[in-house]
């Protein structure tokens, strides 16, 4: 049970801080700034990897969990329990943000910027998650993070991608992080792309692993 608790707490912290930064930035008219939001996402992911990587593998993302299962680095029978744990953590985080900041209209929700076609947003989210999973699959084992640099590498790529793609798609790369705010805002219009694109991106990244690695690969 410890790994499920770790996934719940880690996902809660990640969504609370990341979506919290977006929410506070919204209601204070940009006091945190886009750069500040991107840094917040990168730092909280890095911190939670170091906190829980040895316990649960620090997935905090259903797409990553599914990717590891496809790579045969994680048991399929654990996938539903991990996703449920992640959902609980994300839901609680957004619930508290909703309670604290009822004036927020978005609560860190993910939607493409005005005028950017959803199919292009899906392609961008696919590529963002692909790059993220390429890094993850090469610095972790699925059940435990390996090496002292894993947190920096993964947190760094999330910061990087949030920095340049955030203004276009909000750089979700995580279905559960997109689903939770939508449950409170009622905006489900683009949720399909934020669920399918990250999952397909992680699966594609796992497949690409075979092209560059021979040992301990999927």
Q: What is the 3-class SS of 48-63, one letter each residue?
A: HHHHHHHHHCCCCCHH
Burial of 105 (0-12, 13-18, 19+ CB in 10 A): exposed
Angle at 121 between CA 150 and CA 198, to 5 degrees: 40
Q: Quick: pLDDT tens for 39-68.
A: 999 999 999 999 998 898 899 999 999 999
* Predicted pLDDT of residue 139: 82
* Predicted pLDDT of residue 214: 62
Query: What span, in angstroms and rounded, lies between the C-alpha atoms of 142 and 147?
Result: 13
Phi, psi of 140 (to 5 degrees): -140, 170
1 pLDDT more than 70 = yes
3-state secondary structure of 188: coil
Mean pLDDT of 8-19: 98
Contact 192, 166 (CB under 8 A): no
Contact 170, 110 (CB under 8 A): yes
- Which residues, in sequence order, are CB contacts of 172 under 8 Å at separation 6+? 110, 125, 178, 194, 198
Answer whether 0.85 is exceeded by the pTM: yes
* Predicted pLDDT of residue 132: 96
Average pLDDT, the chain: 92
Q: Quick: pLDDT tens for 84-105.
A: 999 999 999 999 999 999 999 9
Residue 142's Cβ-side half-sphere holds a number of Cα atoms within 13 Å equal to 19
* Predicted pLDDT of residue 131: 96
Q: Quick: pLDDT tens for 135-181.
A: 998 887 555 555 667 889 999 999 999 999 999 999 999 999 999 99
107 pLDDT more than 60 = yes
Domains of the chain: 2-212 (1.20.1080.10)
Percent of the chain, pLDDT > 70?
Answer: 94
31 pLDDT more than 80 = yes
* Predicted pLDDT of residue 216: 59
Query: What span, in angstroms and rounded, lies between the C-alpha atoms of 84 and 110?
Result: 20
């Amino acid at each position: 049970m410890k790994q499920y608790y770790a996934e719940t707490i880690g996902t809660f912290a990640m969504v609370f801080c990341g979506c919290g930064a977006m929410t506070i930035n919204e209601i204070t008219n940009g006091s945190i700034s886009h750069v500040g939001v991107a840094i917040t996402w990168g730092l909280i992911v890095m911190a939670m990897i170091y906190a829980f990587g040895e316990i649960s593998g620090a997935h905090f993302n259903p797409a990553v969990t599914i990717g590891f299962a496809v790579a045969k680095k994680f048991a399929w029978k654990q996938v539903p329990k991990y996703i449920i744990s992640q959902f609980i953590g994300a839901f609680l985080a957004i619930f508290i943000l909703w309670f604290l900041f009822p004036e927020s209209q978005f609560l860190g929700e993910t939607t493409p910027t005005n005028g950017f076609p959803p199919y292009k947003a899906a392609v961008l989210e696919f590529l963002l998650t692909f790059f993220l999973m390429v890094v993850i699959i090469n610095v972790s084992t699925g059940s435990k993070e390996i090496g002292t640099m894993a947190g920096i590498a993964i947190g760094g790529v999330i910061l990087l991608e949030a920095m340049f793609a955030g203004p276009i798609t909000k750089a979700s790369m995580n279905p559960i992080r997109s689903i939770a705010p939508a449950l409170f805002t009622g905006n489900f219009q683009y949720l399909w792309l934020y669920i399918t694109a990250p999952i397909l991106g992680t699966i594609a990244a796992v497949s690409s692993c075979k092209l560059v690695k021979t040992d301990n690969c999927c």
